[in-house]
Structure 1
């Protein structure tokens, strides 16, 4: 498929830039891609299970591995069982790369259904050249979440409710913000029930019940393990300094950053979040389908209103690919009349993605 080829080319170029830059800096590229930051936590869970790793980086902070959802470590362990000759880091990268390809196919299918082949291809390419798209080449969970999210949303759009609910449940096992997929299924199912006055097939009810099951099951399991079924998981997150405070923490951090200045990645993160808010407004004005609005809205709400790890907010928004639909539609229109201009925009975004991704991974020294 043309779109998948372009996506693979973008990601391979990004990895080549990381490889060259890391070699010049005396670092190992595959170690950076497969064993950086959160990747090490996931590999530890895959190898030893939960409870083996806890850090105390400062007063009031307790970094426990229970904050990390289990699907990605399960997949790493499964691949390592089938391919024991590979190291755990390599298995993690294989899972992430395969998930990124599956996500690109799902995103293309959604774009094709809504706007045709040109927009679908541009939607995939834009997702592959986002400033933080280097994460799609790393041993991280964003590709896994996006893959299940894209195909679940496609199932909702085509009214395949059992598939939608099952895939949403798996997305909920991938990341904390994977609940956004279940929210999209539930909101759309609820609208269908109201619109059709309850005369809906049993598959819709079953899919809606399945959708939040994965996320809820893990949160409940952590809560029981911590002695507080409903609040235990959120206590673990507070130990990491991550809370949902309706944006107060982000506002304080932004004020401090604007008044005193800060390292380069923080203003960039703020700019990316601001652009995401603008793109969501355009998505609303374009009257995008309800499941895409609900899914992107929940991801954006979590990123904007959650505190902690400000530099990671653009990564949290990587799965919010529907935000790129207005830009993809605009570029498709431009490509029909001024193809050179559209090519220039995509080329500039690709150059930014490659260079900034290499900088983030090799030089920034901050958690992605």
Structure 2
């Protein structure tokens, strides 16, 4: 069902793109951040753009694992970086869907896991899961790291969290979950076996994220603050949402593109779902992982229109909705899913073919 949802979304987007004279493959493989990743894969780091408004966009803002995998693919296959990026993202999206199912089925039941995976494939911004972007890869590492946590495979959990931390800045949420669960178990299991593996997992989990931040800092001449200075050049910073509030205020007074109010609605719905999720007293790994992702998304400023994308890896947010659908009458559940599918397919096509703002 997940594959059918994404293939349908891509198919409808492709039909509309051809209708207006655009290339679906180019839209999926080289739009916005995809172009940066493909350039890093081909030429390495070192590209910086200077804009009249003072923004300084350095490619050091992009974490290295995805472009490194694209580079590896182009080395062994006679295809372009964009093609490798698409193949990588599609495979990662499938692995992520499988991992999400495994986690939810383990903690809840099969029906809930099935519905949640389908809902994840029908999110308004789910077109990103079909693009040469890093969200599918991050979610795959996150889901399987969480599965390793709930099944107490400590070294797997730590290793996958380290890879998540090399994939995206918000990959630190996976490391936070591993460290929190390991700390809880270390306190609860005093004198019992397995403590060394818990310590190892807790130390390994943030190593990818910290390693890249320190490398960028050393390259910029400021080991602790260099990476954050790079993000500041992109107007991205953590200010508890003050910058986002200014964007919301501007929506009331000046005309904005459709993607901005839509982003506000999606993030607002995500915040409401997070409250319902917390009230259901979820497992600690899911709680910490989701909480950190929501905090980064809501508390960060810069690229307001991209906030729904930042929430894509936060699949546990869909648990309240998936639970309600599994308990609803079949006709009502089918109606809701069909409405979400229409929104996802239509909005995804708009974002990629007509929307002027970054995804």
Select the residue among 15, 30, 34 that pairs with 1:35: 30
Gaps of 5+ in 2: none
State the partner residue of 1:72: 66
Displacement of 1:196 in angstroms is 2.5
In the TM superposition, structure 1's runs of 4+ consecutive aligned residues that sit over 4 Å from their partners are none
Quick one: distance in 1 between partners of 2:191 and 2:203? Answer: 15
Aligned counterparts, 1:166-205, within 5 A: 166-197=159-190, 199=192, 200-205=194-199
| Count, aligned residues | 358
Quick one: distance in 2 between partners of 1:262 and 1:222? Answer: 35
Counterpart check, 1:45 vs 2:40? yes
Select the residue among 6, 9, 17 that pairs with 1:14: 9
Quick one: distance in 2 between partners of 1:10 and 1:57? Answer: 39
Quick one: distance in 2 between partners of 1:325 and 1:165? Answer: 25
Q: Partner of 1:58: helix, strand, or coil?
A: coil
Displacement of 1:260 in angstroms is 2.9
State the partner residue of 1:325: 319
Displacement of 1:326 in angstroms is 1.1
Residues 280-314 of structure 1, C-alpha deviations (whole Å, 9 max, x = no match): 11111111101111111111111111110000000
State the partner residue of 2:274: 280
State the partner residue of 1:309: 303
User: Which range moved further: 206-215 or 182-191?
Assistant: 182-191
What TM-score comes out, normalization by structure 1 length? 0.96
User: Which range moved further: 196-205 or 109-118?
Assistant: 196-205
Aligned counterparts, 1:94-105, within 5 A: 94-105=87-98
Residues 92-133 of structure 1, C-alpha deviations (whole Å, 9 max, x = no match): 000000000000000000111122111111010000000000
Gaps of 5+ in 1: 1-5
Displacement of 1:198 in angstroms is 6.3
Counterpart check, 1:268 vs 2:259? no
State the partner residue of 1:89: 82
Are the counterparts in 1 of residues 186 and 195 from structure 2 also a CA contact under 8 Å? no
For the aligned residue pairs, the C-alpha RMSD in angstroms reads 1.0
Select the residue among 194, 203, 210 that pairs with 1:216: 210
Quick one: distance in 1 between partners of 2:324 and 2:76? Answer: 45
Displacement of 1:192 in angstroms is 1.4
What TM-score comes out, normalization by structure 2 length? 0.98
Displacement of 1:194 in angstroms is 2.1
Select the residue among 131, 135, 144 that pairs with 2:137: 144
Quick one: distance in 1 between partners of 2:54 and 2:36? Answer: 20
Counterpart check, 1:362 vs 2:356? no
Q: Partner of 1:102: helix, strand, or coil?
A: helix
Displacement of 1:82 in angstroms is 2.2
Residues 305-329 of structure 1, C-alpha deviations (whole Å, 9 max, x = no match): 1110000000000000010011111
Quick one: distance in 2 between partners of 1:60 and 1:237? Answer: 13
State the partner residue of 1:161: 154
Displacement of 1:339 in angstroms is 0.7
Select the residue among 108, 118, 127 that pairs with 1:125: 118
Quick one: distance in 2 between partners of 1:267 and 1:355? Answer: 16
